[in-house]
Chain A
Amino acid sequence: MVLNDSDRQLIAAIQGGLPMVARPYAAIGQQLGLDESAVLARVAELQESGLIKRMGVVVRHRALGYSANAMVVWDVPDADIERIGRLLADESCVTLCYQRPRRLPHWPYNLFCMIHGRERDSVLRRISQIVAFHSLEDIQHQVLFSPRAFKQRGARYAELDKLQPESRSLHGRT
């Protein structure tokens, strides 16, 4: 999908969030000089093309009580990574599962998954169960909890903001 300037303005206008009004696309249209139906049609196209993965909420998981946030990393033989990646991804407590490059000698791990829970103990218990159930004892893993978030918010596309400097005033809550 080729993006024109008007698309980029639209993307910038909604990236920080939809205005909290009953007809948010009409409000966006007013800001951009488009009518509501034009905005709706274009947003729908952006979603169909996969550029917008989903329209919905981003939660602050810590505020919801998910304070035990574990990044579990595994050093999986390359030949086995797809099998083990899928196996971990199928676990209900695993929220993300990616293969990433090792950074030897500092970092030997190539499979990353996230497990979020309310308490460390329960997260650690789940990990032990997963290891035992799938016989992963021979695969080195490490659990990196995060005691603190330095920054937590969705990505902003700075250059798009420049295209649409007034967009911040509409939502202003990011």
Chain B
Amino acid sequence: MDALDCRLVNLLQDGIDITAQPYMAVAGQLGISEEQVVQRVGQLLDDGYLSRFGPMYDAEKMGGAFSLCAMQIPADELEKTAETVNAFDEVAHNYLREHALNMWFVIATEHADHLPVVLQQIEQKTGYPVYNMPKLEEYYIGLRFEAGATQ
């Protein structure tokens, strides 16, 4: 990523307006052509710096559900269990964490009543209990990563 890519990523994280040519405004801000924006974003996607360029849906407003879940998996079962858990389309992220509860994943389902079903299926397929910890209250959400900055 060069300096221009970093500026591009930082601008695009703030969100873009919904217009027929959405990359035009960003191109203007960066002093490059619309075509260059399209090309650079495509490259950043291909190179794996970005996972996607598109809408962030509000799972709950869509009638769905979203939750953070944890499991306690023995070290020698981690790979196999991660594969089983990741195979569920509803699992968005899955992280190894340093704790007795060592597998933490986020689940999103289109219908709220489908979430407990998925949790049950995960328990059945892995043979381990799932601790479901849905959010009760949100104090802040501003997930954003400054590209190129030192912290």
- A residues in contact (CB < 8 Å) with B: 1, 3, 11, 14-18, 20-26, 36, 40, 43-44, 46-47, 49-61, 63-64, 66, 69, 71, 81-82, 85-86, 88-90, 93-101, 103, 106-107, 112, 114, 116-118, 122, 142, 144-161, 171, 173-174
Which among B14, B51, B91, B98 is the interface contact of A174 at CB below 8 angstroms? Answer: B51
- A64-B49, A173-B46 in contact; A116/B22 too (CB < 8 A)? no
Taken together as a complex, chains A and B put the C-alpha atoms of A37 and B49 apart, in Å, by: 31
Question: In the complex, how many angstroms separate the beta carbon of B29 from the nearest chain A beta carbon?
Answer: 14
Given known contacts A57-B52, A144-B99, what 17 new A-B pairs fall within 8 Å (CB)?
A11-B57, A15-B54, A23-B20, A36-B20, A50-B61, A51-B58, A52-B55, A60-B50, A97-B138, A97-B140, A99-B137, A101-B133, A106-B72, A116-B145, A122-B151, A150-B85, A150-B103
- A56-B53, A57-B13 in contact; A159/B147 too (CB < 8 A)? no
Residue of B nearest to A43 (CB): B18
Most buried by A among B89, B99, B133: B133
Check if A153 sits within 8 Å of B51, measured CB to CB: yes
Check if B137 sits within 8 Å of A98, measured CB to CB: yes
Check if B90 sits within 8 Å of A103, measured CB to CB: no
Residue of A nearest to B41 (CB): A20
Taken together as a complex, chains A and B put the C-alpha atoms of A88 and B133 apart, in Å, by: 19
Check if A66 sits within 8 Å of B145, measured CB to CB: yes
Question: In the complex, how many angstroms separate the beta carbon of B30 from the nearest chain A beta carbon?
Answer: 14
Check if A17 sits within 8 Å of B20, measured CB to CB: no
Question: In the complex, how many angstroms separate the beta carbon of B110 from the nearest chain A beta carbon?
Answer: 4
- A20-B53, A22-B21 in contact; A59/B38 too (CB < 8 A)? no
Taken together as a complex, chains A and B put the C-alpha atoms of A36 and B22 apart, in Å, by: 13
Question: Which residues in A have their C-beta under 8 angstroms from that of B20?
Answer: 23, 25-26, 36, 40
Check if A58 sits within 8 Å of B135, measured CB to CB: no
Question: In the complex, how many angstroms separate the beta carbon of A151 from the nearest chain B beta carbon?
Answer: 4
Question: In the complex, how many angstroms separate the beta carbon of A158 from the nearest chain B beta carbon?
Answer: 4
- A57-B12, A59-B49, A98-B137 in contact; A51/B93 too (CB < 8 A)? no
Whether a CB of chain A sits under 8 angstroms from the CB of B82 is yes
Question: In the complex, how many angstroms separate the beta carbon of A159 from the nearest chain B beta carbon?
Answer: 5
A-facing mask of B22-51, CB < 8 A → 1, else 0? 110000000000110010011001111111
Check if B70 sits within 8 Å of A107, measured CB to CB: yes
Identify the 4 closest CB pairs spanning chains A and B, nearest first: A89-B140, A155-B108, A85-B139, A17-B52
- A44-B18, A171-B52 in contact; A59/B136 too (CB < 8 A)? no
